[in-house]
Amino acid sequence: MKAFEKNIRKVVPYVPGEQPQNKVVKLNTNENPYPPSPKVREALQKIDTERFRLYPDPTSGGLVEALAEYYHVEPEQVFVGVGSDDVLSMCFLTFFNSEKPVLFPDVTYSFYKVWAELYRIPYECPKLDAEFRIVKDDYKRENGGIIFPNPNAPTAIYEELDVVEEIIRENQDVIVIVDEAYVDFAGRSAMELIAKYENLIVVQTFSKARSMAGMRIGYAISNPRLIRYLNDVKYSFNSYTMDQTALVCGVEAVKDQEYFVRTTKTILETREWAKKELAGLGFVFPDPRANFIFARHPAYTGRELFEMLKQKNIYVRHWDTERIADYLRITIGTKEEMQQLFDCLRDYMEEESHLIL
């Protein structure tokens, strides 16, 4: 080791899903299979590129106001960033500064550990139960803050709002962050609790239901005091985080509620059909309440199916980690993409059964 290396901060990085550049059936990163609102395309065609020589609005005012109007809150209650990962990273840095451990589940979004280690935040990971559900009592102890996704990733399990509220209610002396990247495919949002609990922050994204993963827009909603703290940290790093194109397109995406409802409904319908198809093939899975299904097959390892599908240019997500090594996380694509997946699985299983015979 070189002498200077002892002063380099080293962390185990987050490993994103593969982004193949060739034509594949891509069901591994929970992207929306449908394009953004047509109003986004129209906005792109009208953008005045002359303005690219100027810095964007550091307050992201237009987007903040559109989100505030959509959620019936004040603009002072909205914080935006470059994807929900940027927002969550700012939240870790701003709010998790106790010597007590931050709590988040053992099977969850793996970026939480990365941020905790990067910012040198102590953390503990209470285990989900045998059905991958949060054990509420594990969060009723001294801690330095709490964060969990709802629905959870990669399990797709949604905890009802009364469960979420109980965790918040029992931890009012620390910040509780509910990460709702997939809530549009699930049920009631913790946004309903913002006015009731001053320690609550709800984070959402444009990457899933609004089909804008490539544009990188995320946001947090809370009370004005916590949002002000977030902005103070943001401005100490970089005032101009959101580019002009993202701000314009984000506003138009929020405005087109009709398109948002229609595409979300289509994904939910495809998910319900996919559940039946997977069950018919012998897969088992928790009840999915996101735009993906977390499934395993009793007769095959997760690694075997993952590699087989990849050879057929069908990409799903797999982790060689404790408790979930036999599971595949399968994004809900178009009906045509899902049919290709099912056909491939069926052919493989039939071939395997013939070899055994």
Q: What value does the mean pLDDT take over residues 47-73?
A: 95
Bridge-based pairing of strands 314-315 and 25-26 is parallel
pLDDT at 107: 97
pLDDT at 240: 83
Binned at pLDDT 50, 70 and 90, residue 61 comes out as: very high
The answer on pLDDT for 18 being more than 90 is no
Tens digits of residue pLDDT in 184-194: 999 999 999 99
pLDDT at 12: 79
Selection from 266, 296, 280, 292 nearest residue 342 by Cα? 280
Q: How far, in Å, are 206, 297, 327, 345 from residue 306 at the CA level? A: 28, 12, 9, 10
What is the percent of the chain with per-residue pLDDT over 90, rounded to a whole number?
89
Report the side by side order of strands in the sheet with 145-149. Answer: 78-81, 218-221, 200-205, 176-179, 145-149, 102-103, 123-124
Q: What value does the mean pLDDT take over residues 16-29?
A: 85
The answer on pLDDT for 2 being more than 60 is yes
The answer on pLDDT for 4 being more than 80 is no
Q: How far apart are CA 332 and CA 330, in angstroms?
A: 6
pLDDT at 356: 56
Homologous superfamily (CATH) for 3-34+258-356: Aspartate Aminotransferase, domain 1 (3.90.1150.10)
11-20, 41-50, 295-304, 339-348: least confident range: 11-20
Binned at pLDDT 50, 70 and 90, residue 1 comes out as: confident
N residues, the chain: 357
- 202: phi then psi, degrees, rounded to nearest 5: -110, 130
Q: What value does the mean pLDDT take over residues 123-130?
A: 98
The answer on pLDDT for 237 being more than 90 is no
27-31, 233-237, 274-278: least confident range: 233-237
Domain ranges of the chain: 3-34+258-356, 47-256
Q: How far apart are CA 128 and CA 273, in angstroms?
A: 28
| Cβ contact 163:170 at 8 Å | no
The answer on pLDDT for 354 being more than 60 is no
Tens digits of residue pLDDT in 248-293: 999 999 999 999 999 999 999 999 999 999 999 999 999 999 999 9
Q: How far, in Å, are 33, 63, 278 from residue 46 at the CA level? A: 25, 17, 44
The answer on pLDDT for 353 being more than 80 is no
Selection from 249, 192, 238 nearest residue 90 by Cα? 238
Q: What value does the mean pLDDT take over residues 152-178?
A: 98
Q: How far apart are CA 108 and CA 105, in angstroms?
A: 6
The answer on pLDDT for 357 being more than 60 is no
Task: Please state which CATH class domain 47-256 belongs to.
Answer: alpha beta
Ramachandran assignment for 5, one of left (phi > 0), alpha (psi -120 to 50 degrees), beta (any other): alpha
The answer on pLDDT for 214 being more than 80 is yes
pLDDT at 11: 79
**Can you give the C-alpha Rg of the chain in angstroms?**
21
The answer on pLDDT for 7 being more than 80 is no
Q: How far apart are CA 215 and CA 153, in angstroms?
A: 21
Task: Spell out the residues 6+ positions from residue 76 whose beta carbon is closer than 8 angstroms to its own.
Answer: 224, 227, 228
